[in-house]
Amino acid sequence: MAPSATLYLVEAQSPSLADLLCAVTVASNLVNAAGGGEVSMSWGGGEFLGETSIDPVFTTAKVVYFASAGDSPGAIYPSDSPNVVSVGGTSLSMDLTTGKFLDETTWQDAGGGLSAFESRPTYQNAGYLNNILGTQRGTPDIASDANPYAGVWVLDSLTFGFPVWFIVGGTSLSSPTWAGIVNTAGGFSASTNVELTKLYGDGGGDFSHIQSGTCGLYVAYSVGGPPWNFCVGLGSPQKYTGK
């Protein structure tokens, strides 16, 4: 998604929160030193009391943070941090003969919901969002393809000693997809808050406002409903404008 980008792979020593946050700090410093860019996080866990004290980790200058909204219903951390772009999942339908795009709906297994601990940030202050979210942060902000049955092909030439193709999906796919799109779109935002203000302030047709399907207990609004819902947020990308 970002063919001209310099890519850094940072692996945490373990899946503990402390080690994951350490890896985020290393990635943030690398991106900042390179002049700016994006950090994508394909990990997350249940919300917890005190998570707001960790939010400053995602405020390194010239870095925009993206995180998977999860592959099961509900809000997770760090996706629900106001300093992170939360990326949910959609499902694509294509013609099996031609590969032509047919439709895009919500992905049933995608995460998203109302945070129990994070307050609604200023970029979610639109009147219609006040009515949906109340005082709390809602996720996801945006979405893209995450259905493993309509995912992306990956070539693994190392694991088995010979090349093997397989399909990957989940919001662990949609988060780096969006990070790559924003990277390719142009200049780097000064922070995640600036990027999210830009995304929520986009009044054009730069998103596919997906309003059919479900995700867990949530139902996407019918056609003509608000341009945001708990399954896909603002929707999936259509063009680089406004990103």
The three-state secondary structure class of 63 is strand
Q: What percent of the chain has pLDDT over 90?
A: 69
Residue 135 falls inside a structural domain: yes
Q: How confident is the model at residue 241 (pLDDT cuts 50, 70, 90)?
A: low
Sign of CA dihedral 137, 45, 182, 33: positive
Neighbours of 47 (CB within 10 A): 17
Q: Exposed e or buried b for every residue in 3-23, given b needs 16+ CB within 10 A?
A: eeeeeeebebeeeebeebebb
What is the domain count for the chain?
Answer: 1
- Please indicate whether residue 59 or residue 212 has the higher confidence score (pLDDT): 59
Rounded alpha-carbon distances, angstroms, from residue 226 to 115, 163, 184, 215, 221: 20, 46, 28, 17, 7
| Angstrom distance (rounded) from CA 145 to CA 123 | 24
Rounded alpha-carbon distances, angstroms, from residue 128 to 7, 125, 226, 227, 228: 38, 8, 7, 9, 9
- Please indicate whether residue 127 or residue 42 has the higher confidence score (pLDDT): 42
Is pLDDT at 186 greater than 80 in this prediction? no
- pLDDT, residue 54, reads 97
Q: How confident is the model at residue 142 (pLDDT cuts 50, 70, 90)?
A: very high
Is pLDDT at 189 greater than 90 in this prediction? no
- pLDDT, residue 222, reads 60
Residue 140 falls inside a structural domain: yes
Domain range enclosing 35? 17-88+101-144+171-237
Residue 3 falls inside a structural domain: no
Q: Among residues 66, 104, 65, which one has the least CA distance to residue 232?
A: 104
- Give the domain CATH number at 132: 3.40.50.200
pLDDT tens-place string over residues 208-230: 888 888 888 888 876 667 889 99
Residue 7 falls inside a structural domain: no
- pLDDT, residue 61, reads 94
- pLDDT, residue 182, reads 92
| Exposed / middle / buried, residue 99 (Cβ in 10 Å: 0-12, 13-18, 19+) | exposed
CB 118 within 8 A of CB 134: no
Q: What is the mean pLDDT of the chain?
A: 91
- The DSSP result for 65-91, as a single string, is EEEE--SSSB-EETTTSTTSEEEEEEE
Q: What percent of the chain has pLDDT over 70?
A: 96
- Please indicate whether residue 20 or residue 202 has the higher confidence score (pLDDT): 20
Residue 215 falls inside a structural domain: yes
